[in-house]
């Protein structure tokens, strides 16, 4: 199975967002890198597609924050919770 262009862009976008949050002394220009990915790896996507995907990811990141906050506030990893979700891996 191969990734379609949207999935490929989502992968690279998530990697870049992670790199941006973890950067220390590195200057990462997300806009330049996204443009390069778009033009080199996801050429069939339109500019409108890119903007829509980016907005959807930003919205999901904001909405998903509560899940991460709840998990980290609990302070422990519950293996039983993960075993219930094994079918998704």
Q: Cβ contacts of residue 41 below 8 Å, gap of 6+?
A: 5, 8, 9, 12
- The confidence band for 24, taking pLDDT boundaries of 50, 70 and 90, is confident
Rounded to the nearest integer, the mean pLDDT of the chain is: 82
Give, rounded to a whole angstrom, the gap between the first and last alpha carbons of the chain.
16
Max CA distance (Å), the chain: 43
Residue 43 pLDDT > 80: yes
d(CA 36, CA 38): 5
The H helix count followed by the E strand count for the chain is 4, 0
pTM for the whole thing?
Answer: 0.64
């Amino acid at each position: 199975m191969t990734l379609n262009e949207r999935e490929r862009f989502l992968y690279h976008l998530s990697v870049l967002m992670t790199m941006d949050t973890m950067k220390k002394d590195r200057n990462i220009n997300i806009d330049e890198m996204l443009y390069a990915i778009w033009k080199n790896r996801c050429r069939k996507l339109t500019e409108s597609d890119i903007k829509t995907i980016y907005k959807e990811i930003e919205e999901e990141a904001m909405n998903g924050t509560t899940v991460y906050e709840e998990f980290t506030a609990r302070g422990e990893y519950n293996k039983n919770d993960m075993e219930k979700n094994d079918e998704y891996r």
